[in-house]
Amino acid sequence: MKMIGTGKFYSIGEISEITNISISTLRFYDRKNILVPAIRSSSSGYRYYSEKQMDELHNIKYLQSFGFSLEEIRLYRQNPTSEGMERQVSEKIRSVKSEIQNLENRLHSMEFLLNRLQQSKNLRDNGFQQPDAISVEVTTLKKIWVISTRRRHKLDANLLFSDRCLELQAILNRENLFPAGPYIAVFHGGYEKQFTKETAELELCIPIIKPEGYSSRNLRQFGGDMVISTMHHGHYRDMKKTYDMLIRWAEEHAFEIAGPAYEYYFCDLGTTLDESEYLTKICFPIKA
């Protein structure tokens, strides 16, 4: 400790020992203008802190215990009053609530993914292979919220639409959205063109956990249709046979196909790099 005039001042080493704050941290506070030493020797460069600055250090550590960042603390110290503290705490509470909501959405999104992976694994464990005869389900699709893009696209059953998938992922990242299911392709221009590598109109969707009040030109509701569906196991290039069997089943059971085909990619290149594990649900809307 050093007496300067009538005041007591502490070197940076003494402050570090008293407060258990490292010298490097105190120097960082100085550089970031969070706590600047009361006195700095022009000749030696030594830093000296006043007794009042001991209280300021306590205030900094107290705020850090609530998770305030150094930038938030620096802003508070521009108006270090109880009123300023109330404003900072209110803003921090809003920020923490937003973080909690994001974490909950991320957790739900991961649970959707885990459920999808477990369903795929159960099918493989039970020896599911693409059969010569298919199992068909008739059901009404649940309405869900999706982010989608729709435009003409070169279709190729050898590939999943990687560029379009990346485009949707970029939208999710930009809008801080979380997926709630597999990619869905809607072949407005005809599903068969993916086997002839033609250009046709394709809509690609990804289900999301929709935040309250969220809107976007890429957002729409999907589902509500009555459909017939079946599962295809294996690579997309081999799906034409499954399509043919599903159309034949519809004809045999007097169901009229009423819209473009949908493909749900339950197990795709996002969840496996083993093409033999691909699992795709093929759907056709039908008239009730």
Range list for CATH 1.10.1660.10 in the chain: 2-80
Residue 64 has pLDDT above 50, yes or no: yes
At the top level of CATH, the class of 106-285 is alpha beta
Q: Which of 208, 206, 207, 191 is nearest to 153 (CA)?
A: 191
Burial call 221-237: b when 16+ CB within 10 Å, e when fewer: ebeebebbbbbbbbebe
Note the pLDDT of residue 103: 95
Of 51 and 144, more confident: 144
Residue 168 has pLDDT above 50, yes or no: yes
Lowest-pLDDT choice from 6-10, 74-78, 105-109, 144-148: 6-10
Instruction: List the beta strands (DSSP E) in the chain.
Output: 2-4, 7-11, 39-40, 47-50, 137-140, 144-154, 184-186, 199-207, 219-222, 226-233, 262-267, 279-285
pLDDT per position as a tens digit, 170-199: 999 999 999 999 999 999 999 999 999 999
Phi, psi of 254 (to 5 degrees): 60, 40
pLDDT per position as a tens digit, 16-28: 998 888 999 999 9
Tell me which of 1.10.150.120, 2.60.40.1940, 1.10.1660.10, 2.70.150.10 is the CATH number of domain 2-80. Answer: 1.10.1660.10
Residue 132 has pLDDT above 90, yes or no: no
User: Is the distance from CB of 279 to CB of 123 less than 8 angstroms?
Assistant: yes
Residue 5 has pLDDT above 60, yes or no: no
Question: To 5 degrees, how large is the angle CA 186–CA 191–CA 237?
Answer: 110
Note the pLDDT of residue 113: 93
Instruction: List the beta strands (DSSP E) in 77-121.
Output: none
Residue 240 has pLDDT above 90, yes or no: yes
Distance, CA of 223 to CA of 177 (rounded, Å): 20
pTM above 0.85, yes or no: no
User: Is the distance from CB of 54 to CB of 18 less than 8 angstroms?
Assistant: yes
Among left, alpha and beta (phi > 0; psi -120 to 50; other), residue 213 is: left
Q: Residue 31: which H helix or E strand, with range?
A: helix 23-31
Among left, alpha and beta (phi > 0; psi -120 to 50; other), residue 33 is: left
